[in-house]
Each structure stands twice: as structure tokens, then as C-alpha cells.
Amino acid sequence: MRPPRLATATLVRSGELFGIAEGTTRVALSRMVAAGELEADGDGYRLAGHLRARQDRQDASRAGATRRWDGTWRTEVVTARARPAASRAELRAAAGRLRLAELREGVWMRPANLAPGEPADEAAVAGQCRSFASRPSDDPATLAADLWDLDGWAARAQALRRRLAELQPDLDRHAGESLAPAFVASAAVLRHMQADPLLPRDLLPPGWPGAELRADYERYDAAFTAVWRDWYRARR
């Protein structure tokens, strides 16, 4: 949703899709404000904190934008000899959000074909690692296949495409009863797109379904949004 804001009445009614009572929804909203996940905004709420950052990552994953690749790899090497568990967990989470893969303990890398990530994640990595631009002697496609489960990602993407295709006809005919399962499928696709390593085309296995999944989802999401708006207007 852009901008990342909804009226309270809209949020409450949306909870009805999943059988959530109005009181329960309002309590959840209050707790999310207390946790820094939402901010009160007039007659509604807007995303804040890590939920706002997650939406930004989702938007970037949907776009799937990459840069021209010159064959170099971004390589991050941990410099500290001893790190507390919290620091290791922080680095692992930030590196994952930057789509870096772990070659071995303390060595993270990926093809240098992406724009810089969120400043907080870049700072977390820079605070524990020394950065290099490397050119591994291994075949780059083989190295990519070792770093990421590309076959697993592709298989899951195809399964999600089939699920979207199953739900699309109901959305196209504006069936309000399809909204709840369609929402669940939408969330699954968004999570999966965030796991896409966004590799250069030359490093992807044949038949990589990334572009097809994104195209399917754009059509699906447009239909879902139209049905949701109709459903909400009918209950105002």
C-alpha cells in the first residue's frame, strides 16, 4: 500500500476478512504502536520502524532491479576475532537483507550488481567486516549455485505461479470471498521475492522464473487491490 497508511476503519474492516473481531484488531494496533511498528496518523496509522523498512525491501524485490555486472564480486570479510552472539546475529540478518551469501564462517559475498542497500544494513556490515572487490577463480555460475539454492528457489517460484493462476479467475470476477486466500498467497510471493538473490543473468540456471513470477504478481496484485476496494466500499 502506497503511501503506507490506512484509516483505522479500513484496518478494522480488513480484519473481518480473517474473522478477527474489531476489539482484537484495535488492541493489536495499539500494541504495534507501542512496539514502534506503527505511528498514529490522523484517523489512521502508518507503517514505522522495521515494518516500514520491510515494505521498502518488498518494493525493491518486486522491481528486481540490478546493475550491469563487470564480473567482480562484493566480498565482506569479518575482521574481529571474537564477537558476541548478538553481533553475529546482527551481521547475519543485515547480510541476508543485502542478499549476501556466506561462503564460509566470516566470509560473505555476491556479484557486485546491486545498488547499495538500506543504510542501517550497510553500516552493520561495515562495522564488522572489511570489504573487497574480488574475482574468484571458480566458474562464477558454479560458485553462485554453491552459495544459493537456485533450484529450490525456482521450484518454489513455479509453485507460487501456479497458486496465483488458481486464484486469478476469482479475482478477475471480483469475488469477495477470494480475498482472504488471495492475501495469504500474496504474502507468500512477497516473502519469496525477497529471497531472490537477484543474480546477473549469466549466473542463473536455464528457465529461471524470476521475471515471470514478478509479471504474474503485478497482474494479480492489481486485481486483488480492485476487489479489496470494492469489498470495502460495499461495507462503508
Tell me the pLDDT tens digit for each residue of 163-197.
Answer: 999 999 999 999 888 999 999 999 999 999 999 99
* 5 pLDDT more than 70: yes
As a whole number, mean pLDDT of residues 205-228 equals: 96
Report the half-sphere exposure of 191 (CA within 13 A, side-chain side). Answer: 8
CA 131 to chain centre: 25
Answer whether 200's CB lies under 8 Å from 147's CB. Answer: no
- What is the distance between the alpha carbons of residues 41 and 11, in angstroms, rounded to a whole number? 13
Integer-rounded Cα Rg, in Å, for the chain is 21
Measured between alpha carbons, how far is 130 from 150 in angstroms, rounded to an integer? 27
* Residue 204: all three cell numbers together: 542463473
The phi, psi pair for 44, rounded to 5°, reads: -155, -155
pLDDT higher than 70, residue 2? no
Given a cut of 90, whether residue 132 has pLDDT beyond it is yes
The helix or strand, by DSSP H or E, that contains position 123, with its residue range, turns out to be: helix 119-126
Strand partners, 118: none
pLDDT higher than threshold 60 for residue 215: yes
Name the pLDDT band for 3 (thresholds 50, 70, 90): low
**Tell me: the pLDDT tens digits for 53-95?**
888 888 889 999 999 999 999 999 999 878 899 999 999 999 9
**Contact between residue 197 and residue 111 where contact means Cβ atoms under 8 Å apart:** no
Percent of the chain's residues with pLDDT above 70: 98
Say whether pLDDT at 1 is over 60. Answer: no
Q: What confidence tier does 110 reach under pLDDT thresholds 50, 70, 90?
A: very high
- In this prediction, residues 37-52 reach a mean pLDDT of 86
Which residue type does 230 have?
A: D
The model's pTM is: 0.87
* pLDDT for 98: 97
Q: From start to end of the chain, where are the E strands?
A: 5-7, 38-41, 44-47, 73-78, 101-104, 107-111, 129-134
Distance of CA 36 to the CA centre of its chain: 20
